[in-house]
């Protein structure tokens, strides 16, 4: 394939992920400190899976590593730090009780109730958020990723009420003035739009791993839950793991290795 055609197809794949303009941001919005725009040569073939999942090695996490991963995620997705109670979060940390309210520490290592647990959208197999969204602004892909189409979001917040994990944030105000390191390859959002972790679908399409996984130093294992030879399946065979709120019946794709 000629390099010009290859370049066109790669850029088309980025456009197909909704990384263009609309009610959300576009390249012309670039604030000071914008990150460099990679060239087509920086990209590899898309990463694909039947069912993307994540395993979190909770023995390796503390608040510092949570902050490192959160910074990587939020920088990649133009999620600014907004002071007060109206902040947006895609990746954050919490204690055992908040993370696993239906679990008790019995029969688990003694320190489980003193760890800091990373939290993010669980990319549920039966996502309540998708079921209640009236405009299909949130939908589940064939590979299990629960996506947001920011253009379709009308800000009703039914999805926030439906999610048992508090994984979604609402833009009560325009977040753009708070963005410090603008990433031109991911859309900014406006006031009135809901957002959450997308398992870095835009990076997978470019052959890359999720930003938090790259930043975690091996504490986050990402892969295909339907591939018995994948690293995530291997570690889930070897280690005891919990999923959050199993009684909610949503089937999280995020596992916590204890």
d(CA 15, CA 97): 41
Q: Which member of 17, 129, 133, 221 binds ligand SF4 (CB under 6 A)?
A: 129
Residue 148 lies near ligand SF4 (rule: CB under 6 A): no
Q: Which member of 137, 153, 197, 221 binds ligand SF4 (CB under 6 A)?
A: 197
Tokens 């679908």 locate to 201
Binding segment (CB under 6 A) for ligand SF4, from list 25-33, 94-102, 163-171, 232-240: 163-171
Residue 185 lies near ligand SF4 (rule: CB under 6 A): no
Q: Which member of 18, 53, 93, 210 binds ligand SF4 (CB under 6 A)?
A: 210
Q: Based on CB atoms, which residue is closest to ligand SF4, 49 or 106?
A: 49
Q: Based on CB atoms, which residue is closest to ligand SF4, 190 or 216?
A: 216
d(CA 154, CA 170): 11
* Strand boundaries in the chain, DSSP class E: 52-57, 92-94, 117-119, 138-140, 146-148, 169-170, 194-195, 220-224, 241-242, 254-257
Q: Which member of 128, 133, 147, 242 binds ligand SF4 (CB under 6 A)?
A: 128
Residue 47 lies near ligand SF4 (rule: CB under 6 A): no
Residue 49 lies near ligand SF4 (rule: CB under 6 A): no
d(CA 177, CA 99): 31
Q: Based on CB atoms, which residue is closest to ligand SF4, 14 or 105?
A: 14
Residue 179 lies near ligand SF4 (rule: CB under 6 A): no
* CA distances for 15 relative to 19, 26, 145, 190, 211, angstroms: 5, 12, 18, 19, 20
3 state DSSP class of 223 = strand
Q: Based on CB atoms, which residue is closest to ligand SF4, 20 or 251?
A: 251
Q: What is the pattern of x (binds ligand SF4, CB under 6 A) and - over residues 52-91?
A: ---------------------x----------------xx
Strands 194-195, 146-148: pairing kind: unpaired
Cβ pair 233, 179 in contact under 8 A: no
The count of residues interacting with ligand SF4 (CB under 6 A) is 25
């Amino acid at each position: 394939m000629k390099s010009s055609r290859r370049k066109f197809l790669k850029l088309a794949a980025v456009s197909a992920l909704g990384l263009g303009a609309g009610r959300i941001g576009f390249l012309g919005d670039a604030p000071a400190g914008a990150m460099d725009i990679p060239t087509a040569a920086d990209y590899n073939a898309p990463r694909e899976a039947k069912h993307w999942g994540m395993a979190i090695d909770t023995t390796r996490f503390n608040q510092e590593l949570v902050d490192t991963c959160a910074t990587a995620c939020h920088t990649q997705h133009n999620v600014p730090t907004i002071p007060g109670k109206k902040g947006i979060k895609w990746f954050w940390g919490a204690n055992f009780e908040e993370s696993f309210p239906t679990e008790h520490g019995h029969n688990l290592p003694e320190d489980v109730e003193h760890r800091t647990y990373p939290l993010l959208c669980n990319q549920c197999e039966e996502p309540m958020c998708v079921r209640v969204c009236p405009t299909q602004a949130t939908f589940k892909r064939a590979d299990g990723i629960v996506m947001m189409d920011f253009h379709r979001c009308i800000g009703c917040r039914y999805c926030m009420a439906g999610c048992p994990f508090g994984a979604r944030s609402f833009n009560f105000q325009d977040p753009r003035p708070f963005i410090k390191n603008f990433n031109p390859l991911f859309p900014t959002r406006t006031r009135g739009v809901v957002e959450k972790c997308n398992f870095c679908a835009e990076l997978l399409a470019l052959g890359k791993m999720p930003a938090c996984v790259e930043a975690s130093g091996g504490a986050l294992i990402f892969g295909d839950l339907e591939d018995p030879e994948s690293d995530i399946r291997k570690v889930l065979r070897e280690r005891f793991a919990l999923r959050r709120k199993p009684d909610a019946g949503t089937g999280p794709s995020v596992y916590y290795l204890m």
